[in-house]
Structure 1
């Protein structure tokens, strides 16, 4: 949910080494102000949010908190590039927040860091996108309430496609051809973000593969993924890929400022892009890779968790239930008033007028037809291992098979730790 954040970092691939270190209990204590000061009667709760880019988001979260009359809820709105390291460091101290936003990660469950929220979600479970319920469930218990779903796909300028006489690419190979024809002295054909990390999972899915299969075994080391890595290397060295843009992929400025004709980004940025480009804007999924492939859309998003080590678990759960389960008006506001997100509650999504026509409706259709959700078993160490594959075989000229073999070693060691 970041249209115009001023910090140049990728919040969407948040799981940096900090997560793994914190899970292992090795991070130093974080000495920043935790917001526990400030009087107010009754229970005091502290919640951590990263700094969303869209104007009005901080005020909205604080407005919702102020409307709650059972406890004084203080929001730590964490700016800069290290939300996750601040969060994980603080979780190891007595100044830890009572509740926080993050993404489903099994090590948070296995380490006893997040509270079981089944009792508050169960009564309304059927009104959630079932993929969101599944991605937060371990051994039949639900950890975390989804607040927003964030589909990610390609945005493009139809006027530039028309000028270059190209069609929307249906395969990764065609994307390379289209990028070459769209590239001019001033405009690059395509932008995938400064690190390329945002497209790793979309490319794996588009090759007909997956991160893990249903039995929590590696499912990404396929011929299709190898082919995809080779094509990505070709794109990386082609001169048609925008590199080192002023802001990363989640910020719409590369497309809006005319630095690229095609940009991988999230639906959160759609209102800002529409404001700048009007009708000269289209969307398409990550195109299929190889014969076994099919188009893919990564559904990112954010969820609220209760710190299981808090002294106020029940109070924190009551607040989460009040805001993210009972207050439909606030949930709708959060999903639709500052950027575009798909509400995880099916009843709210069904009545979301802003998503029912035009480009937003096309985005929702891509999400519905091709969406892939987080796998709770796909941990930070595994994410980092696939980032290393891209670094070795796309940014450098390493052998994709060798890079994937190395990745397998890390992933299998992680899986053994988690699942035995």
Structure 2
């Protein structure tokens, strides 16, 4: 769900904390108590951490599911999105650590023994999960984390604005740049990709026919196509056709809905809100080809539930995760489609979710299936930070892209050596 994709955060803070390299105090309670089972719990107390989703009803839904569980008293900490990752990882180092928490698959959490092996609860239903969601949570044949929702991200556009400007839906980055120029007026910017541009880093790489890492966990992003893409992003950044300094980040569709831009990068979660605001005056398209030999791409973000392997109630926490995110299909579909749109990671649910079968939702599912790229569990916070630095240096500040990538290579290779030898 909205609030944060996998790339809006202070990566250095998270990495240090994830590897246990920073001292941290406890976390004050956020979000208040969730309804505990009214006497139905066994006396075991569990705490779960969620970031504050942007869609109305999400907090109430998570607490409703927890209250229905009879085997333990489950309390929910609902944490301000901007603080979520730093508070989560700081608290994991203290006696107040949660028993379970949502996050994204990252190998350093496994290497440091922070998250529990959930293979035994997932294995019986593994074939009903999107294979890419299993792969992105698997290390050495063991599965860590249960995917709750898949969140494809693409460009949303105002049909009427494109029609008026005589602009076709772009399929290449050059066409997107041209469209942004034609769509920009005294009151409207042609394009919004977030204030920090972080959300489009990996799509730009994939659309250049490259990747973050290859199958041998070696650098795969340092290519001529990515260098060309960085030069184009610099040109776009300085063109005056990009919305910068928007009131809300790109996970929130307000800039598109309020007419501040004609095209906005956002996630599938925003579809119901956009429909309410714009009626049928909108459509979606994938990140266009960075270079002619590339391929359009869609980043599949999302959130997964992990069990704290260092917690006091590991088995009880695993039982709750199994109950809610494996057994309770009704709740899983409710979570995926009632508060913004998301694709259920369970194939059976994805196929039966009626709200995703028509209109732009169906188109989003098609783009997800055709162009989707999932998280690579070996692509860590420090590597993400290194790429954010590349954008800061050569897109915002005009550093030579080759030099910026050389600098990133040093940081990424240092991480790879630490993780894989």
Q: Give TM-score scaled by structure 1 length.
A: 0.96
1:367: which partner in 2? 368
Residue 36 of structure 1: how far off its partner (Å): 9.2
1:29 aligns with 2:25: yes
1:77 is matched with which residue?
Answer: 78
Where 1:216 maps in the other structure, the secondary structure is: coil
> Which runs of 5 or more structure 2 residues have no equivalent in the other structure?
none
1:20 match: secondary structure: helix
RMSD (Å) for aligned C-alpha atoms: 1.5
Is contact 2:7–2:384 with CA below 8 Å preserved after alignment? no
* CA offsets 1:252-285 (integer angstroms, 9 cap, x no match): 0000000000000000001100110011001000
Task: Indicate how the Cα distance of structure 1 residues 19 and 120 shifts in structure 2: closer, same or farther if over 3 A, else same.
Answer: same
Deviation at 1:23, TM superposition (A): 2.5
Query: Does the aligned pair in 2 maintain the 1:36–1:44 contact within 8 Å?
Result: no
Aligned CA distance change for structure 1 residues 198 and 244 (closer, same or farther; 3 Å): same
Match of 1:18 in 2: 13
Offset from partner CA, 1:82-127 (integer Å, 9 cap, x none)? 1000000000001100000000000000000000000000000000
Query: 2:284: which partner in 1?
Result: 283
Q: Hey, what's the Cα distance between the residues in 1 that align with 2:374 and 2:329?
A: 23
Q: Deviations over 1:196-249 (max 9, x none)?
A: 000000000000000000000010000000000000000000000000000000
Label 1:71 to 1:88 Cα distance change in 2 as closer, same or farther (>3 A). Answer: same
**Greater shift after overlay, 78-87 or 190-199?**
78-87
User: Displacement of 1:12 after TM fit?
Assistant: 4.6
Which residue matches 1:65?
A: 66
1:409 alignment counterpart: 410
Corresponding residue number in structure 2 for 1:393:
394
- Mapped pair 1:342 → 2:315: no
1:143-177 CA distances to partner (integer Å, 9 max, x unpaired)?
00000000000000111111000101110011000
Alignment-derived partner of residue 241 in structure 1: 242
Deviations 1:294-348 (A, max 9, x none): 0000000000000000110000000000000000000000000000000000000
Aligned-partner Cα distance in 1 for 2:323–2:73: 14
C-alpha separation in 2, matches of 1:96 and 1:104: 19
1:29 and 1:143 map into 2 onto residues whose CA distance is 27
- CA shift digits 1:33-55 (9 cap, x unpaired): 38799996510000000000000
CA contact (8 A) 1:203 1:228 kept: yes
State the SS of the aligned residue for 1:262.
Answer: strand
Give the number of aligned pairs.
415
Please report how far the alpha carbon of residue 81 of structure 1 lies from its aligned counterpart in structure 2 after TM superposition.
Answer: 1.1
Task: State the alpha-carbon separation in 1 of the partners of residues 163 and 299 from structure 2.
Answer: 27
Alignment of 1:311-390 (within 5 A): 311-390=312-391
TM-superposed CA distance for 1:186, in Å, is 0.3
User: How far, CA to CA, are the matches of 1:173 and 1:196 in structure 2?
Assistant: 17
The one-character-per-residue Cα deviations of 1:331-375 (angstroms, maximum 9, x if unpaired) are 000000000000000000000111111110000001000000000
Instruction: Describe how 1:13-412 pairs up with structure 2 within 5 A.
Output: 13-14=8-9, 16-25=11-20, 26-33=22-29, 42-412=43-413
Whether the 8 Å CA contact 1:116–1:143 is kept in 2: the answer is yes
Structure 1 unaligned blocks of 5 or more: none
Output the CA distance in 1 between the equivalents of 2:75 and 2:10: 25
Give, in angstroms, the shift of residue 14 of structure 1. Answer: 4.0
How far off is 1:13 after superposition?
A: 3.2
Residues 17, 89 of structure 2: 8 Å contact kept: yes
- Residues 365 and 104 from structure 1, CA distance in 2 versus in 1: closer, same or farther, beyond 3 angstroms? same
Distance 1:180 1:246 in 2: 22
Matched residue SS, 1:189: strand
Moved more, 192-201 or 20-29: 20-29
- Within 1, Cα distance between the matches of 2:33 and 2:241? 51
